[in-house]
Amino acid sequence: MSTKDDHGHAVSGDTADKKGGATILLFFILGFAASLAIGWGVFPKLLYSTKPQPFNFDHALHNREVGDCESCHFFREDGTFSGVPTLAQCTDCHADVMGETEDEAIFVNEYVAKEREVPWYVYSRQPDCVFFSHAAHVVKAKMTCESCHGDIGTSTSLKPYQENRITGYSRDIWGYSIAGFKTHTYDRMKMDDCAECHEKAVGSVDRAPAPGVVSRHFRQEVVPAIYPLDRQAATGSSVQTRRDACFVCHK
Amino acid sequence: MEMNAKQHKYGMVIDLDKCTGCGACMVACMAENNVPFKKDESDNKRDSITWMRVFKVSNDKPYPEADICYLPRPCMHCEGHDGHSPCVSVCPATATDYSQETGVVSQIYTRCFGCRYCMAACPYHARYFNWWDPVWPEGMEKYLSPNVSPRMRGVVEKCSFCFHRYQLAMEKAHYEGRAELEEQEYQPACVQACPAGAIVFGDLNNPEHRVTRIVEPDPHHHFTGHSKKALRLLEQLGTNPKVYYLTERQWVRKALDQYNFGSQAAAH
C-alpha cells in the first residue's frame, strides 16, 4: 500500500513540477521580453527630453543669400574657430527684418531689438575636458565640415534638440542608434569616434607598453598573441598606449 | 621609435640665484590653471594644492653667513628612460601619460580614479589630491579659464607646463600652415609672471632655444647639464627630470643634492 501510495504521490508531484517549470519558463520569457522592450524602447525615450530651438534657422536659405559658409563660421586670426555666430555677426545683416518668415520676426523682435544673445542649443557641445582644434582638422588635415557635422549646410530646418537627462549633452553625441551602430562618420561624436580616425592617422593600435616597462618577450610575443588583429607599427606619441597621447584632445 | 611629428622636449631652467621668493609664479599658476583653494589656506598645508610651490631653504648659519635660497618646484616632467617616468609607469588607469611629441607628462582628470599611486611614486611631491570639490567664491566661476578643465573631488592634479597654451599656439600654427612653434609662442604662466626673469622655458631638443644654450643637456650622460651651474633634483634616482636649476652657491648645491631642506647638513 505504502509503495502504491508513494508511487501515486510521486507521479502527481512530477506533473506539478512540470507545470511549475513551464510557468517559470513562461515568466522568464515574458520578463526577458519585457526587459528588452523597456531597455531598447522605453528607456531611450525616457532618457532624452526634446527641447525646441528658440526659433527655426534655415541654412539652405542663408547659403543662397550669403553664398558661402565662411562668412558666418570663420576662423579668427589666432586660429580659433568662431563656431555658432554671435548676435553681433547676425545684426550685420539683420538690423531690421529682411524677409517674411515668422522665425526672422521672432529673431529681430526678441533678440536683436532687446540685444540678447540667442540661447541656441548646440548639438555638438562637448564636455569641459575636451580640447578640439578646428584648425588642426579643417586646415591642416583638410577634413570637410560634413565628416563630423553631417550635411547641415543644406537643411531648411533645425532638428529638435534632444537632451540627455542624465548628462545634459545632446543625443547627437551618443548617436541616434541606441545600440551604438553608425553608418556615417557624423552619426556620433563620442571619444571613440575621435579615436577611430586618430588610430588610422598614427598607423595602428599597439597595446604593448613602452620598451623598458615590460620585457621584449611580452611586447613582441605575448601582446600580439592576445590582440592578433593589431598591427604593431604604431607611431602615436603616447608612451602608455602608442596611440596619440591623451593631451592631444584633452585639457 | 618613429614619429609623425618632430619630437620636442619642453623643459625649464630655474635660476635659484635670481629667484627672490616673491611667489608671483605660484599666484600666476593658480589663476591660469583654475587651481582650487580652501577657505583658510593657513590651515593644514598638506591639503593645499599648489602646482608650482616655492620652498625656502636656509643654511642655518648665524648673521654674517646667514643665507636663504628660494626653490620654485613645478612638476619635473621626468622622462626617465624612454618616457618611463615614476608616476606614468605606476598609473593603473592610464590617466597620466608621457608624450614623446612634447615631453609633457599629462594628467587626464576624467580618467583618474584617485588611487594616488602616482603621488606615492613621485619623489618631488609635485602631485596633489582633490579632497573636496572646488568651491569658488561667489562670482569667481565667471573668471575661470575656459582653456583648463576644472577638477572634481577624488582626482589627482599637477603642473602641466600650461599645456593648454601649447594647444592654442599649435592651433594658430596649424591655421597659418606652420608645423613648428616659435620659442616665445609657448611659455607657461609662471615663466611670464616671474619679475626676476629667473625661469626660462623652451625645447631642450632645439639647440637655439635659451634653455638648451644655458644647460647644454648631454644626451650621452642621461641629459645632465654640461653647464657647471646646472643641477637637477634627485639626479641620482634616474628620473631624468626636465627642470634644471642653476646656482653658484655651494651650500645650495649640497642641500639640493640631498633634498634636505633647511637642515643642519646643508650648512656644511
CA quadruple B28, B34, B36, B40: dihedral sign:
positive
- Tell me the shortest Cα–Cα distance from B177 to chain A, in angstroms: 7
* Residue numbers in A near B82 (CB within 8 A): 210-212, 239
* Residue numbers in A near B84 (CB within 8 A): 210, 212-213, 239
Distance CA A101, CA A157 (A): 12
Domain spans of chain B, in order of start: 10-267
Phi, psi of B71 (to 5 degrees): -125, 100
What is the pTM assigned to this prediction?
0.85
pLDDT tens digits for range A43-93: 988 999 999 999 999 999 999 988 888 899 999 999 999 999 999 999 988
Q: Residue B138 carries which DSSP code?
A: T
Distance CA B234, CA B123 (A): 8
Q: Which CATH number fits domain B10-267: 1.10.167.10, 3.30.70.20, 3.40.50.720, 1.20.1250.20?
A: 3.30.70.20
Q: Residue A219 carries which DSSP code?
A: I
The pLDDT score that the predictor gives to residue A209 is 58
Q: Residue A13's pLDDT band (boundaries 50, 70, 90)?
A: low
Domain spans of chain A, in order of start: 2-48, 59-84+120-188, 190-251
Of A127, A129, A139, the CB nearest to B175: A139
- From chain B residues 137-156, the ones with a CB under 8 A of any chain A CB are 147-150
CA of B87: how far to CAs of A98, B118, B119, B126, in Å?
A: 61, 4, 7, 10
For chain A, say whether B182 makes contact (Cβ under 8 Å). no
pLDDT (tens, 9 = 90+) of chain B, 268 residues, equals: 334 457 899 999 999 999 999 999 999 999 999 999 998 888 888 889 999 999 999 999 999 999 999 999 999 999 988 888 999 999 999 899 999 889 999 999 999 999 999 999 999 999 999 999 999 999 999 999 999 999 999 999 999 999 999 999 999 999 999 989 999 999 999 999 999 999 999 999 999 999 999 999 888 887 888 888 899 999 888 899 999 999 999 899 888 875 444 444 434 3
ipTM (interface predicted TM): 0.83
The pLDDT score that the predictor gives to residue B161 is 97
Bridge partners of residue B11, in order along the sequence: B202
Distance CA B187, CA B10 (A): 10
Helix (H, G, I), strand (E, B) or coil at A140: helix
Per DSSP, which regions of chain B are E strands? 10-15, 53-58, 68-73, 96-98, 105-107, 128-129, 156-157, 199-203, 217-218, 224-225, 230-231, 243-246
Q: Fill in the amino acid letter for B219.
A: P
Cβ distance of B97 and A211 shorter than 8 Å:
no
* Residue numbers in B near A239 (CB within 8 A): 82-84, 88, 97-100
Task: Give the per-residue SS3 of B88-119.
Answer: HHHCCCCCEEEECCCCCEEECCCCCCCCCHHH
For chain A, say whether B83 makes contact (Cβ under 8 Å). yes
Start-end of H helices in chain B: 24-32, 86-90, 117-121, 163-175, 189-193, 210-215, 250-257
First to last CA, chain B: 45
- Res. A248: pLDDT tops 90: no
Q: Fill in the amino acid letter for B121.
A: A
Cβ distance of B111 and A246 shorter than 8 Å:
yes
Contact B243, B12 (CB under 8 A): yes
**Cα A31–Cα A37–Cα A42 angle in degrees, nearest 5:** 125
Q: Residue A186 carries which DSSP code?
A: T
Bridge partners of residue A81, in order along the sequence: A75
